C-alpha cells in the first residue's frame, strides 16, 4: 500500500473487513446511502475547450445581475418572462426527457446555446458546482434515523453556504426500478438538465460528513476529466477489486460524455432487462465481490476494467487527499487533529481573527496555506482535517449497521464527526461544543485560542 494513502482511506485490508453495503432488508430504507467499501470543473464540454468559451470561464459575474431579477416585460406568450429570453432552447423541445432511458444527443451544444442566451449564468467566476444528495421518501425505521439525516443534511448545507455552492436534496425515487444505491443516477441525469449553468454535479451520499469546512476541490486539477472519484488505479486494474474506488462521493461534468457514461452505467442496473446477468458477470470479473447482485460501484469498476479505452481517460481516481474517507480510520483522531489546529491558531494571529462568515473562503484559504506549510515543515502526516468522512456501513436511516461495528460506534462516530464539523461553523457565531460528544456549546473567548 502506498505510504501516501491517507490514514482515513480504506486499504485493501480495510476493504476485506468492509461491510456489505446493504442487506436486503435495508436496501429500501437506505436507498440513497451508498455504503460502499473502499475509498471516490469552467465551461468545458466533455474535454473540449471551445475558445469562444474561455471568455466566460474567467469573467466575474456582474454584481448587478441577481438570480432573482425580474424583468419588467409582461409575460404575454411572446417571450420575455423573467430572465428567460423567448428563443427556444432544449426546454422547449418535447423530445428532450429528464428521465433515464431516453437518449439526449448534442447535449454540449444544447447547453452551450442555453448559456449563450443566459450570459449572466455563463459568466461564472469559477466553475459552478451543484451538490446533490438525498434520502428515502418515507420515515426512517431507526428511531434516531431522521434526526441523523437532518444533521447530515445540515452539514452539507453548512459546507455549501460557506462556499457558494447550490444544493439539491432529493426525497424522490425518480425511476421506480432504480432503487438502493442506483437511485442517484436518475437524479444526476435530471439535475444536469435542470442546471445547465452547473459545470459539475457533485454527488455526496447522505451518510458522508464534511469534516473540513475550509477545503475546496482542486477543480483545476480535474480540467481534463469528466468524472472524479476516490480510488486507486492499481486496485482497479491489478487487484480487480470492487472496493478499489468509492461510488458514494464523486463529481461528474455536466456534458454529453457524462450522459452517455451514465447510460452505460445504468444499463447494468435494476432498470435494465440484463440486470441479473450483470450481477453474475460482475461477480465473476471482480476478485472480491461476494454476492451476485449488480451494484453501482462494481459496475463502475467494471467499466474501467473492461472499457478503459472508451471511458478511462476521462475518469480520474483521486487519492492525494481525503476526497472521501472511511470513518473507522478517522473518528478516533479528531481530538488530536483539533489539538494541532488549535496550536497552529495560537501561533498565527490571522487564523484566529474574528470575521464575518461570508469572508470564510478567504480565511479558509489562509488556514489551508498554513496547514500545507506546516505539513511540509514538520511532516506528521495524518493531522490534516479529513475533507469528507464517510460512514460506510452505518445505515443511519434503517439502523441496520454492519455487524462488524460494536454497539454505538456508528452513532458515536457520527456525533463526533458532526460536532467536529459544527465547531468549525459555530466558531464564526462565537461558540463551540464542549467536547465532541457533548451537545452543549460554550461561548468562545475573544482572540480564542490565544486567550485559553
Ligand X SMILES: *[C@@H]1O[C@H](CO)[C@@H](O)[C@H](O)[C@H]1NC(C)=O
Contact positions toward ligand X, by CB under 6 A?
332-333, 336
Residue with Cβ nearer ligand X (7 or 233): 7
Residue with Cβ nearer ligand X (154 or 333): 333
Q: How far is the CB of 424 from ligand X (least distance, A)?
A: 20
Residue with Cβ nearer ligand X (279 or 386): 386
Residue with Cβ nearer ligand X (161 or 333): 333
Q: What is the DSSP string of 97-154?
A: -SSTTS---SHHHHHHHHHHH-HHHH--SS--EEEEEE--SS--SSTTHHHHHHHHHH
Q: How far apart are CA 300 and CA 34, in angstroms?
A: 13
Q: How far apart are CA 243 and CA 241, in angstroms?
A: 5
Q: How far is the CB of 333 from ligand X (least distance, A)?
A: 5
Q: Is 48 helix (H, G, I), strand (E, B) or coil?
A: strand
Q: How far apart are CA 260 and CA 262, in angstroms?
A: 5
Residue with Cβ nearer ligand X (10 or 396): 10
Q: How far apart are CA 249 and CA 202, in angstroms?
A: 7
Residue with Cβ nearer ligand X (240 or 333): 333
Q: How far is the CB of 332 from ligand X (least distance, A)?
A: 5
| H/E run at residue 300 | helix 296-306
Residue with Cβ nearer ligand X (313 or 343): 343
Q: How far is the CB of 383 from ligand X (least distance, A)?
A: 9
Say how many Å lie between the first and final Cα of the chain, rounded: 41
Q: How far is the CB of 343 from ligand X (least distance, A)?
A: 12
Q: How far is the CB of 412 from ligand X (least distance, A)?
A: 15
Residue with Cβ nearer ligand X (54 or 336): 336
Q: Which of 235, 239, 449 is nearest to 347 (CA)?
A: 449
Q: Which residue is nearest to ligand X (CB)?
A: 336
As beta bridge partners, residue 253 has 200
Q: How far apart are CA 308 and CA 233, in angstroms?
A: 11
Q: How far is the CB of 386 from ligand X (least distance, A)?
A: 13
| H/E run at residue 63 | none
Indicate if the alpha-carbon torsion angle 324, 327, 333, 338 is positive or negative: positive
Residue with Cβ nearer ligand X (116 or 333): 333
Q: How far is the CB of 326 from ligand X (least distance, A)?
A: 15
Q: Which of 132, 209, 157, 159 is nearest to 410 (CA)?
A: 209
Q: How far is the CB of 388 from ligand X (least distance, A)?
A: 19
Q: Which of 46, 38, 95 is nearest to 261 (CA)?
A: 46
Q: How far is the CB of 10 from ligand X (least distance, A)?
A: 17
Q: How far apart are CA 334 and CA 423, in angstroms?
A: 12
Residue with Cβ nearer ligand X (102 or 336): 336
Q: How far apart are CA 159 and CA 358, in angstroms?
A: 12
As beta bridge partners, residue 84 has 81
Amino acid at each position: 500500500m502506498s505510504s501516501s494513502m491517507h490514514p482515513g482511506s480504506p486499504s485493501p485490508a480495510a476493504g476485506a473487513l468492509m461491510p456489505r453495503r446493504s442487506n436486503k432488508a435495508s436496501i429500501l430504507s437506505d436507498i440513497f446511502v451508498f455504503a460502499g467499501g473502499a475509498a471516490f470543473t469552467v465551461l468545458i464540454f466533455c474535454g473540449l475547450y471551445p475558445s469562444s468559451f474561455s471568455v466566460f470561464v474567467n469573467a466575474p459575474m456582474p454584481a448587478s445581475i441577481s438570480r432573482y431579477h425580474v424583468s419588467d416585460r409582461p409575460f404575454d406568450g411572446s417571450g420575455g418572462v423573467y430572465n428567460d429570453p423567448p428563443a427556444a432552447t432544449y426546454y422547449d423541445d418535447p423530445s428532450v426527457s429528464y428521465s433515464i432511458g431516453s437518449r439526449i444527443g448534442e447535449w454540449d451544444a444544447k447547453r452551450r446555446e442555453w448559456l449563450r442566451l443566459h450570459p449572466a449564468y455563463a459568466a461564472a467566476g469559477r466553475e459552478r458546482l451543484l451538490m446533490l444528495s438525498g434520502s428515502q421518501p418515507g420515515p426512517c425505521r431507526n428511531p434516531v434515523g431522521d434526526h441523523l439525516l437532518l444533521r447530515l443534511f445540515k452539514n452539507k448545507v453548512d459546507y455549501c453556504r460557506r462556499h457558494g455552492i447550490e444544493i439539491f436534496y432529493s426525497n424522490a425515487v425518480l425511476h421506480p426500478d432504480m432503487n438502493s444505491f442506483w437511485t442517484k443516477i436518475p437524479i444526476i441525469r435530471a439535475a444536469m438538465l435542470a442546471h445547465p449553468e452547473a459545470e459539475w454535479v457533485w454527488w455526496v451520499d447522505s451518510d458522508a460528513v464534511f469534516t473540513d469546512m475550509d477545503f475546496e476541490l482542486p477543480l483545476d486539477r480535474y480540467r481534463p476529466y469528466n468524472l472524479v472519484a476516490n480510488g486507486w488505479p492499481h486496485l482497479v486494474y491489478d487487484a480487480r477489486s470492487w472496493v478499489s474506488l468509492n461510488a458514494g462521493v464523486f463529481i461528474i461534468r455536466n456534458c454529453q460524455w457524462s450522459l452517455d457514461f451514465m447510460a452505460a452505467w445504468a444499463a447494468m442496473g435494476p432498470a435494465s432487462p440484463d440486470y441479473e446477468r450483470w450481477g453474475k458477470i460482475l461477480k465473476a470479473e471482480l476478485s472480491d465481490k461476494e454476492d451476485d447482485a449488480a451494484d453501482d460501484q462494481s459496475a463502475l469498476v467494471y467499466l474501467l476494467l473492461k472499457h478503459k479505452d472508451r471511458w478511462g481517460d476521462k475518469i480520474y481516481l483521486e487519492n492525494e487527499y481525503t476526497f472521501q474517507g472511511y470513518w473507522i480510520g478517522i473518528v478516533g483522531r479528531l481530538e488530536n487533529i483539533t489539538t494541532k489546529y488549535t496550536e497552529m491558531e495560537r501561533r498565527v494571529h490571522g487564523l484566529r481573527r474574528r470575521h464575518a462568515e461570508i469572508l470564510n473562503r478567504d480565511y479558509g484559504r489562509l488556514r489551508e496555506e498554513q496547514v500545507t506549510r506546516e505539513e511540509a515543515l514538520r511532516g506528521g502526516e495524518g493531522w490534516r482535517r479529513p475533507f469528507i468522512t464517510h460512514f460506510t456501513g452505518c445505515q443511519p436511516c434503517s439502523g441496520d449497521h454492519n455487524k462488524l461495528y460494536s454497539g454505538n460506534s456508528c452513532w458515536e462516530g457520527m456525533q463526533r464527526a458532526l460536532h467536529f464539523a459544527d465547531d468549525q461553523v459555530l466558531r464564526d457565531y462565537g461558540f463551540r461544543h464542549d467536547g465532541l460528544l457533548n451537545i452543549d456549546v460554550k461561548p468562545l473567548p475573544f482572540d480564542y485560542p490565544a486567550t485559553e
